[in-house]
Chains A and B, each alone.
Chain A
Amino acid sequence: MASIKEIRTHIKSVEQTLKITNAMFLISSSNLQKARKQLSDVEPYFQKIGTTISDILHHSPEINHVFFDKRPHIPAEKRKIGYIVITGDKGLAGAYNHNILKLAEEKLRQSANTSLFVVGQVGRSYFMEHGIPIDVEFLYTAQNPNVGRARDMSETMLELFRREQLDEVYVIFTRMVNSFQMEPTIHKLLPLDPDAFPQEEETSSYNRDVAYVPSVKAVMDRLVPGYVKGDLFGALVQSYCSEQNARMTAMKSSSDNARAMLQTLNLSYNRARQTAITQEITEVVGGAQAAQ
């Protein structure tokens, strides 16, 4: 059996870890509440923008616009594909970062010409460590997503797409299915693909006679950046929410584990102490008997 002193240091260290994990649990649960609210606020916009775009696309004749150009003349192996990978800024969030990085690596293996745009410090240092080049000027944090950041990101992406430095843009993020289930998801951002939007069962009768004021190009020039911005913002919010949720779950279970550990440690500490006392008494009694 370990000595009393050893057990005592062990108990102390576990207690300190427990303090940290418990504090992180409390912080992430309060962050999660904020993130949840933001998610429920942004969700209608996110969904509406998707259905509206889909509605517009299915009601319009052929749209010849730069953001819809799939560039079919470029062969698959030469296509320059950009991936926006949204990770957390910190670790200690269970499998959250691991899952998203695994999906990103899998996608990276599939094509030759890829560029990586990483949101969040964990992903950045991971790719740097593994010698995978990432865009170093794409510096955005995953904390507290806001519309301004989504706008800056979407402007960068649209610019690269327009200059043909990227032929396809995807965003890899964690979707929050419900509070127990989060799944890493990949979502195509550019070019817009009318077929990618689900065709809804049409209830209205006004098909194919939508007017664009002042012109298709002028509307799409505004509509598409708005859509990409909204999409990215949604992805950021979903990821942030998932991260907080993952961290909360991870910290809760580690706090529970620490408590269970403390209990067994306390038990063995008490036992060791009792043994020591018993031994001392035996020695005293033995000594007294010997002196008689």
Chain B
Amino acid sequence: MAEANTFYLEIITPERQFYIGPAQALIFPAVDGQMGVYAGHAPTVTAIEPGELRYKVDGVWEPAAVGAGFAEIKPDYVILLVGFAEHPEEIDRKRAEAAKLRAEERLRQKQSIQEYYHSKAALARAMARLKTRR
């Protein structure tokens, strides 16, 4: 590592390698709330909820929407494996809103427990996108 206060960050999705490079800080949505990471963090494994993620590169916070996944954190290296990751400018607000409405509509109907989980996951994805896009 070039600097002591940076760590190597990898954000990888099945569709692409979203970000690979140094970062100074990272905030991501964990199961029980937001979790912040600086260089030198204790080795941790945790799950990621759909939501808004922010990472700091050269003093600038970069926001992104992420899907469910998990993170492996080491003092000098953080890897995030998530279902999707998108920059705010890539998010189609109208589409996300339509997806949110669709998911809410489905949640009102009677459905099997599995369908219920799918609808809830779809809703969470839509909310994550909308939150990041604002």
Contacts and interface: CB of A to CB of B under 8 A. Distances in A.
Partners in one complex: yes
B30 interface: yes
Contacts of A52: 70, 72, 79, 81
Contact of A44 (B12, B44, B75): B12
B32 interface: yes
B51 to A, nearest CB: 14
Contacts of A211: 42-45
Nearest to B77: A204
Contacts of B46: 212-214, 219
Interface residues of B, number: 27
Interface string A193-233: 00000000000101001111110001101110010001001
Q: Identify whether the interface residues of B are mostly helix, strand, loop, or mixed.
A: strand
Contacts of B94: none
A147 interface: yes
Contacts of A105: none
B108 interface: no
Given A44-B12, A52-B72, A230-B14, A210 B81 contact: no
A45 interface: yes
Interface of A: 41-42, 44-45, 48-49, 52, 55-56, 59-60, 147, 155, 204, 206, 209-214, 218-219, 221-223, 226, 230, 233
Interface of B: 10, 12-17, 30-32, 35, 42-47, 68-70, 72, 74-75, 79, 81, 83, 114
Nearest first, the 8 closest Cβ-Cβ pairs linking A and B are: A222-B47, A213-B46, A211-B44, A210-B43, A223-B70, A206-B43, A45-B14, A45-B12
